[in-house]
């Protein structure tokens, strides 16, 4: 039996441990630095470092690392031991405040987007004291920010922390205008739901595409997929349950609030959902969660797939980003209350979010744009490419009433009671917000669920965008309200004005229909269907101005990020194309050729026995496979040519990415379609790879 309270955060150097191990004065100085941004003296840093080292050594650590999040999308770490030489030839275990605060890793192989020259290899890591240090693999891990030799940021943590500062400052500013001077801090909070697939490791090892790219590049649909919905919330299989149990234990030791786990809709798909925490810590925790999922799955003879669309024809995996705003008073600023129509504070923050999402649809879309997520979005419960907001019937009626009725009157229908029809069952209050599976950005009670994130994504970028755009709108609201003589009247007018202007972004219907696509176009909403198309918007003047005035990125940093993301997209498509060619040439073509030879041999043998023996079926199948194989060979040559032809586009990274998207991916899809049809016609003992049925139903 796991002693959950006993092990929780046992591997984290958290506030409780610091309070015990530091002097009262040192602890108070450290908290002042965290809560109010006061400078941290070297004396305090030395004291914290020494206490941290002693605690880590007690936990069995010999090394420490500055754990950071470069623009690769995953984490990075360089390990240094605590040892320091002593005059008598022995060593002592030391760790100073300077070592805690600053590190100097080699930055030469991390993406920089042209920020630094090749010879400027040095980079700096700097301690993030807002995210507690932790022990992993007998190493003390210190969460840090990462910047280049030029001083430009090269990571995802630094701009996230900047955006948190902005949303805090602007939210407190406007709350004080509303008379809420009791609120002195506002934090953006997030609970990222993590979807993933688990497949058998032995079968995974027989698939080149999964090993090299994380998704199946070939594969005919299994007769049984998710059509019966029998996997969703079903009984968890024993191997999976053993994995989940160990994962929970390791996450709890790291202070991660792992709460809910269940089977998802697709076969072999599952989900883990944590409790909300501040967005910076939530981002760190989610990176650790993904790392542990992969590691622990292998211990149980399985592989965890975090690709957004590892299997064609079944649901892909997302990461629902539940975002809200929490005050230091414990109040959720996005909680409507019993009478939201009378809750001016809630309506003002709701209006700010609606305004921000409408004005910066492009930034939210590009924040989730990846090669993998392009395959996932637009169907199978993933949101469409068009960014819109779902409010639910009750809130939408309030919004319409505010827009259309000058007297602000609105009579809420309240909670509807649903009669279960069975005396033994209690009455249920219906949630008027519901949950729209086709909405990219849905209000779900006291938070917004940004559903467009892919499962492998670092959540920092979408939350940087959310924090920044809402902070910017709140700032403009405060500028306007500070000039008003009557705040109450000014707030009502401001809410009505902005709801009327931005109502186009609100849509409660089915986001998958052709009618919505046409309507969204009429409304002037963006429909950015690919990563290259979305990333093009990064450097629009309005977006550069937004980042500059909110001190999130300078123009150099924005352009660097755009280049890094485009380059990553190109590399992924190129890798997938090369993997397809390898599989097609070396395995699939020879396998089908061998099977057609066997068919031809069978036909000749039957004919040799008697002219009366019918061979129509074999001849028909042989003819079909021969035609398909010829088309397959032609398509291989076409893809080979397009891979080589991409060289001509390398001088312009945007054009290169668009070529990969519009030309290479198109041919890859055509090559796959032929292969999948051949798989359906080829005897299983000849087909070189495990089938979809084996992949999706191998874990029992």
pLDDT at 90 > cutoff 60:
no
* Measured distance CA(66)–CA(144) in Å, rounded: 6
Q: What is the CATH number of the domain that holds 649?
A: 1.20.120.1560
End-to-end CA distance of the chain: 24
**Would you mind telling me the total number of residues written for the chain in this entry?**
700
CATH number of the structural domain spanning residue 108: 3.10.20.70
Residue 598 lies in a domain: yes
- On whether both 235 and 382 belong to a single domain, the answer is yes
In a domain, 394, yes or no: yes
Same domain, 263 and 364: yes
| pLDDT of 120 | 53
Under 8 Å between Cβ of 412 and 340? yes
How high is the pLDDT of residue 225? 73
Residue 77 — very low, low, confident or very high, per pLDDT cuts 50/70/90?
Answer: confident
- Dihedral of the alpha carbons of 446, 465, 254, 301, in degrees to the nearest 10: 100
Residue with more model confidence, 121 or 608:
608
Q: Quick check: is 417 in a domain?
A: no
Residue 403: CATH number of its domain: 3.30.590.10
pTM of the model: 0.91
* Number of domains, the chain: 3
Spatial distance between the Cα atoms of 133 and 112, rounded to a whole number of angstroms? 26
Name the least confident of 122-126, 197-201, 243-247, 324-328.
Answer: 122-126
Closest CA to 246 of 523, 570, 2: 2
What is the reported pLDDT for 82? 79
> When comparing pLDDT for 684 and 129, which is higher?
684
Scan for tokens 């779902």, then name that residue.
390
Residue 561 is assigned to a structural domain of this protein: no
The answer as to whether 93 is a domain residue is: yes
Report yes or no on 429 lying in a domain.
Answer: no
**Residue 419's pLDDT is what?**
44
Q: Which of these ranges, 73-87, 209-223, 521-535, 658-672, has the smallest mean pLDDT? A: 73-87
pLDDT digits (tens, 9 = 90+) for 146-167: 766 566 777 889 999 999 999 9
Rounded CA gap, 590 and 570, in Å? 29
What is the number of other CB atoms lying within 10 angstroms of the CB of residue 288? Answer: 20
Same structural domain, 408 and 511? yes
pLDDT digit string (tens) for 419-470?
Answer: 434 554 344 444 555 555 678 999 988 999 999 999 999 999 999 999 999 9
φ, ψ of residue 83 in degrees (nearest 5): -70, 145
Q: Do residue 273 and residue 388 come from a single domain?
A: yes
The dihedral formed by the CA atoms of 53, 58, 62 and 64, expressed in degrees to the nearest 10? -40
Tell me how far apart the alpha carbons of residues 476 and 631 are, in angstroms, rounded to a whole number. 60
For 644, what's the count of Cα atoms within 13 Å in the CB-facing half-sphere? 7
How is residue 691 written in tokens? 């089938």
Given a contact cutoff of 8 angstroms between Cβ atoms, the answer to whether 126 and 102 are in contact is: yes
**Average confidence (pLDDT) over 676-681:** 96
pLDDT tens-place string over residues 646-666 = 999 989 999 999 999 999 999
Is residue 422 included in any domain, yes or no?
A: no
pLDDT digits (tens, 9 = 90+) for 265-285: 889 999 999 999 999 999 999
Query: For residue 428, what pLDDT is reported?
Result: 41
Same domain, 134 and 271: no
Instruction: Retrieve residue 653's tokens.
Output: 């990274």
Is the pLDDT assigned to residue 482 strictly greater than 80?
yes
Task: Pinpoint the alpha helices (H) of 259-300.
Answer: 279-299
- Find residue 533's DSSP bridge partners: none
**Per-residue pLDDT tens over the stretch 204-223:** 999 999 999 999 999 999 88
pLDDT reported for residue 404: 85
The answer to whether residues 364 and 382 belong to one domain is yes
In which domain, by residue range, is 406 found? 162-220+227-412+437-553
Is the pLDDT at 118 greater than 50, yes or no?
no
Last residue of a domain, one of 553, 580, 596: 553
Beta bridge partners of 326: 187, 332
Looking at the structure, do residues 654 and 526 belong to the same domain, yes or no?
Answer: no
Whether residues 640 and 673 share a domain: the answer is yes
| Confidence label for 86 from pLDDT (cuts 50, 70 and 90) | low
Q: What is the mean pLDDT of residues 100-116?
A: 60
Residues 10 and 93 in one domain: yes
């Amino acid at each position: 039996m796991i002693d959950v309270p006993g092990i929780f955060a046992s591997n984290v150097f958290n506030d409780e441990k610091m309070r015990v191990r530091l002097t009262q004065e040192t602890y108070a100085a450290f908290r002042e630095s965290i809560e109010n941004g006061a400078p941290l003296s070297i004396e305090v840093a030395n004291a914290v470092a020494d206490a941290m080292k002693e605690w880590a050594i007690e936990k069995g650590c010999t090394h420490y690392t500055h754990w950071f999040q470069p623009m690769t999308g995953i984490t990075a770490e360089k390990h240094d031991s605590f040892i320091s030489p002593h005059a008598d030839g022995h060593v002592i275990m030391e760790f100073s405040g300077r070592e805690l605060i600053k590190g100097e890793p080699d930055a030469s192989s991390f993406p920089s987007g042209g920020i630094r020259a090749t010879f400027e290899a040095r980079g700096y890591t700097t301690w993030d004291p807002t995210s507690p240090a932790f022990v992993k693999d007998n190493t003390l891990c210190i969460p840090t920010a990462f910047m280049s030799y030029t001083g430009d940021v090269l990571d995802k943590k630094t701009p996230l922390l900047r955006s948190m500062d902005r949303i805090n400052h602007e939210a407190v500013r406007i709350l004080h205008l509303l008379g809420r001077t009791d609120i002195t801090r506002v934090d953006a909070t997030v609970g990222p739901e993590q979807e993933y697939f688990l497949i058998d490791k032995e079968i995974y090892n027989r698939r080149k595409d999964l090993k090299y790219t994380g998704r199946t590049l070939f594969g005919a649909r299994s007769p049984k997929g998710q059509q019966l919905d029998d996997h969703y919330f079903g009984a968890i299989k024993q191997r999976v349950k053993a994995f989940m149990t160990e994962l929970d234990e390791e996450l709890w030791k790291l202070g991660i609030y792992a709460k809910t786990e269940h089977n998802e809709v697709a076969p072999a798909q599952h989900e883990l959902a944590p409790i909300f925490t501040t967005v910076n810590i939530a981002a760190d925790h989610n990176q650790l969660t993904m790392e542990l999922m992969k590691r622990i799955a292998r211990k149980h003879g399985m592989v965890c797939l975090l690709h957004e669309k590892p299997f064609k024809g079944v649901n892909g995996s997302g990461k629902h980003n539940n975002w809200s705003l929490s005050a230091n008073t414990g109040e959720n600023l996005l909680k409507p209350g019993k009478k939201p129509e009378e809750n001016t504070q809630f309506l003002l923050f709701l209006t700010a979010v609606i305004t921000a999402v409408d004005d910066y649809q492009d930034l939210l879309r590009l924040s989730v744009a990846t090669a993998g997520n392009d395959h996932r979005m637009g169907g199978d419960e993933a949101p469409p490419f068009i960014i819109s907001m779902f409010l639910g019937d009750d809130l939408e009626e309030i919004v319409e009433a505010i827009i259309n009725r000058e007297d602000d009157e609105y009579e809420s229908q309240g909670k509807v009671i649903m009669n279960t029809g069975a005396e033994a069952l209690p009455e249920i209050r219906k949630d008027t917000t519901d949950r729209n599976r086709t909405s990219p950005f849905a209000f779900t009670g006291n938070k917004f669920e940004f559903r467009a994130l892919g499962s492998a994504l670092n959540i920092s970028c979408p939350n940087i965008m959310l924090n920044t755009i809402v902070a910017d709108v709140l700032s403009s609201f405060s500028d306007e309200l500070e000039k008003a003589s009557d705040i109450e009247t000014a707030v009502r007018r401001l809410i009505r004005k902005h709801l009327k202007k931005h109502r186009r972004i609100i849509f409660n219907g089915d986001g998958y229909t052709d009618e919505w696509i046409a309507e969204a176009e009429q409304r002037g909403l963006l429909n950015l269907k690919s990563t290259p198309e979305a990333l093009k918007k990064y450097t629009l003047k309005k977006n550069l101005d937004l980042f500059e005035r909110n001190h999130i990125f300078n123009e150099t940093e924005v352009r660097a990020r755009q280049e890094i993301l485009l380059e990553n997209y190109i590399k992924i498509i190129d890798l997938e194309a090369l993997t397809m060619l390898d599989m097609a040439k070396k395995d699939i073509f020879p396998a089908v050729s061998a099977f057609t030879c066997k068919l031809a041999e069978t036909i000749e043998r039957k004919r040799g026995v008697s002219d009366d023996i019918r061979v129509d079926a074999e001849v028909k199948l042989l003819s079909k496979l021969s035609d398909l194989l010829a088309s397959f060979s032609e398509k291989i040559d076409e893809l080979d040519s397009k891979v080589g032809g991409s060289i001509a586009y390398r001088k312009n990274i945007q054009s290169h990415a668009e070529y990969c998207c519009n030309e290479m991916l198109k041919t890859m899809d055509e090559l796959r379609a032929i292969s999948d049809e051949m798989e359906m016609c080829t005897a299983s003992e000849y087909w070189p790879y495990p089938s979809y049925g084996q992949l999706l139903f191998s874990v029992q």
